[in-house]
Structure 1
């Protein structure tokens, strides 16, 4: 996971040729100072943690899924979290069967900020 994140950041910093088709890359929009770390808790949980998120870039006032006002992630932070979630899940095996209450995964975890707020 760490290597994939480093590669994604490196590719995002590469400049395109003039006249090339522009594509959206959530890693390209990362502000300076933002840190992405991979942390292992216990033997079965891997978390990707986004630290030093600038308030104006990462958070805005909005509504949660129940319509209550609260601070929510901006579209830029959500896009980054989804990209990190894709990397996180790429290595996971999930042979679970919910109908029989059988859980069979390589690891648990997700993407969160430094305060433990779940991002993706």
Structure 2
């Protein structure tokens, strides 16, 4: 509590061994909600209701992550192809500029040669 600058509402002795736990449960993390009375009617409510829902929830999350990952891999492949194409275009532009510069130099040299001749 000292770390978060929280003033203890009780005496110092009361909260000596207490910790403040901060966390958030997002809607994506919620497996489900059940009525307690409905659950207690089944002696194996955890095995019959909660575990199957938890497993289905975890599988749905794994599927969603697989789809996102596969989509990202596709995007990454496309990005890599685009990067290679950009590099090739840059190389071609540099070669064309180099050829144009050489041609310009040759024309200039030829013109200067004729002037000096």
Instruction: Quickly name the TM-score band, shorter chain normalised.
Output: under 0.3
TM-score of the aligned structures, taking structure 1 as reference length: 0.21
The one of the two structures with greater contact order (alpha-carbon pairs below 8 A, sep at least 6) is 1
TM-score (norm 2): 0.22
Q: Which has the higher strand share?
A: 1
Larger Rg: 2
